[in-house]
Amino acid sequence: MLESLKTILSAAREGHYAVGAFNCLSVEHARGAVRAAEEEKSPIILQLAEVQFPCAPIELMAPVYLELARQAEVPVCVHLDHGQSFETCARAIKLGFNSVMFDGASLPFEENARVTSEVVRMAKAVGVDVEAELGRVGDAGTDEGKDLKDAFTDVGQAGLFVERTGCDALAISIGNLHGRYIATPKLNITRLKELKEALSTPLVLHGGSGTSREDFKSCIHNGICKVNVATTLQLAVMDAVKEYVSSGNTSYIDMKGVIESATEKQVRLFIDLFESSGKV
């Protein structure tokens, strides 16, 4: 069933677990992810980022996500990831997404708060929830190894930001990066604890791929309620397809099944790690 971000994340916050938000770029990807959630009896978030529109157009993916959500036996939220403008958020909402992220993290604080507030006002008018971002989550390709402390989410600013914007979830920066890390990152759990203490808003960890098991556990036991994963899923699917083809298989139809199963297997591992199994 289609469920709101707010409902899914407030249960996660109360229950001290996190819900996986998976960037799904094809029908097989999305079906595999929902099947995993059904097998695990877990809520799930299907998401698509604006930078992914060229390979998975939102107009094509929206009906797929929404129909899968409606048919699912578990709560499914259909979420826009990293919307880069007010207009993109409005476009996703018009297509039926029941949750959007406006990512103004690269903007000055005032500008980020102003545009986020406008998105929240528009989204709330039609019953849609909003995730925002404060502090910058960089890219493993360009930012790994750099001192990122200045990009970390500031506790005082976060309180002000949430109060001013009324966002339903906040993506934070604690040393996490998007993409493929070379070395395993070490997240700043002290900053996370401070943010949890100061805010009642569910917190979101972006850049889930490559995070150590230990850091994941510390995150979900200290206020992270949503974890975004993209790269690991893509790599798992690529490996499965490579193996399928190199073993001499030639059926395209069966290969679609391989993609679905590889996604399902990987998503089940994350659901188990995030402790959301059996929560529905």
Q: Restricting to residues 62-81, name those near ligand 13P by CB under 6 A.
A: 81
Q: If you compute the radius of gyration of the chain from its CA atoms, what whole number of angstroms results?
A: 18
Could you tell me the smallest distance in angstroms from the CB atom of residue 226 to ligand 13P? 10
Q: Which of 224, 236, 231, 279 is nearest to 38 (CA)?
A: 279
Cβ nearer to ligand 13P, comparing 117 with 173: 173
For residue 27, what are its two tokens? Answer: 């029908």
Residue 81 is among the residues annotated as catalytic for this protein: yes
The single residue of 81, 154, 168, 215 carrying the catalytic annotation is 81
- Residue 263 touching ligand 13P (CB under 6 A): no
To the nearest whole angstrom, how small is the minimum distance from the Cβ of residue 131 to ligand 13P? 10
The stretch among 25-33, 89-97, 151-159, 200-208 that binds ligand 13P (CB under 6 A) is: 200-208
Q: Is 138 in the site for ligand 13P (CB under 6 A)?
A: no
How far is residue 69's CA from residue 77's CA, in Å, rounded to a whole number?
Answer: 7
- Per-residue tokens: 135: 């502090």
User: Of 13, 31, 35, 178, which one interacts with ligand 13P (CB under 6 A)?
Assistant: 178
* Whether 192 contacts 203, CB under 8 Å: yes
Query: Which listed residue (84, 157, 222, 231) binds ligand 13P by CB under 6 A?
Result: 231
Which of left, alpha, beta for 175 (phi over 0: left; psi -120 to 50: alpha)?
Answer: left
How far, in Å, CA of 64 to CA of 48, rounded? 12
Burial degree of 171 (CB within 10 A; 0-12, 13-18, 19+) = buried
Tell whether residue 229 is a contact of ligand 13P (CB under 6 A): yes
By annotation, the residues acting in catalysis are 81
Which chain residues interact with ligand 13P by CB under 6 A?
23, 49, 81-82, 178-179, 206-209, 228-232
